[in-house]
Amino acid sequence: MGENKLAPHVEDVARALGSKLSEEEIESELKEYIEVYKLTIPMAKKTMVKKHGGDASAFTTGFQRKLAELRPNEPNVDFVARVVTANDKTIEAKGEKRRIMYGLLGDDTTTLPYTVWEPEGMQLEKGDVVSVKGAYTREYRGRVEVHFGNRVTVRREDPATIDASDVAQGPPKVVTINQIRDSMGYIEVKARVLSVEPKDVTVQGEEKTIYTGTMADQTGRIQFTAWSDFHLKPGELVKISKATAKSWRSIPQVNFDDRAELLRVKEKFPTAEELSRTSIVPISDVAQRGGAADVSVRGTIVEVRDGSGLIMRCQECKRALQKGTCKVHGRVEGYPDLRIKAVIDDGTGSVSTVFGREITEKLMGFTLDECMDKARQAMNFDAVKDSLDEALLFRIVDIGGNVTADAYGLSMIAKEAELVTPDSKEDIETLLVDLEETK
Closest CB to Zn ion among residues 139, 316:
316
The mark string for 37-56 relative to Zn ion (x by CB under 5 A, - otherwise) is --------------------
Selected binder of Zn ion within 326, 391, 397, 414 (CB under 5 A): 326
Distance, in Å, from the CA atom of 301 to the CA atom of 418, rounded to the nearest integer, reads 12
Distance, in Å, from the CA atom of 354 to the CA atom of 349, rounded to the nearest integer, reads 17
Binding range to Zn ion, per CB under 5 A, among 64-72, 238-246, 325-333, 386-394 = 325-333
Binding range to Zn ion, per CB under 5 A, among 54-62, 88-96, 201-209, 318-326 = 318-326
Residue 93 within binding range of Zn ion, rule CB under 5 A? no
Residue 329 within binding range of Zn ion, rule CB under 5 A? yes
List all residues 6 or more positions away from 45 whose beta carbon is below 8 Å from its beta carbon: 9, 12, 13, 16, 30, 56, 59
Binding range to Zn ion, per CB under 5 A, among 1-9, 195-203, 308-316, 366-374 = 308-316
Closest CB to Zn ion among residues 52, 319:
319
**With contact defined as beta carbons under 8 Å apart, do 96 and 84 qualify?**
no
| Alpha-carbon distance values, 217 to 175, 221, 337, 416 (Å) | 11, 7, 38, 22
Q: Which residue is nearest to Zn ion (CB)?
A: 314
| Closest CB 316 distance from Zn ion, rounded Å | 5
Q: Using CA atoms in the order 214, 215, 221, 225, what is the torsion angle rounded to 10 degrees?
A: -50
| Closest CB 404 distance from Zn ion, rounded Å | 24
Whole-number CA gyration radius for the chain: 29
- Residue from 196, 175, 194, 156 nearest 43 by CA: 156
Angle, CA of 368, 374 and 378, to the nearest 5°: 145
Q: Which DSSP letter does residue 193 get?
A: E
Selected binder of Zn ion within 201, 265, 317, 407 (CB under 5 A): 317
Closest CB to Zn ion among residues 49, 314:
314
Residue 314 within binding range of Zn ion, rule CB under 5 A? yes
Binding range to Zn ion, per CB under 5 A, among 21-29, 219-227, 275-283, 319-327 = 319-327
Q: Would you tell me which residues interact with Zn ion (CB under 5 A)?
A: 314, 316-317, 319, 326, 328-329
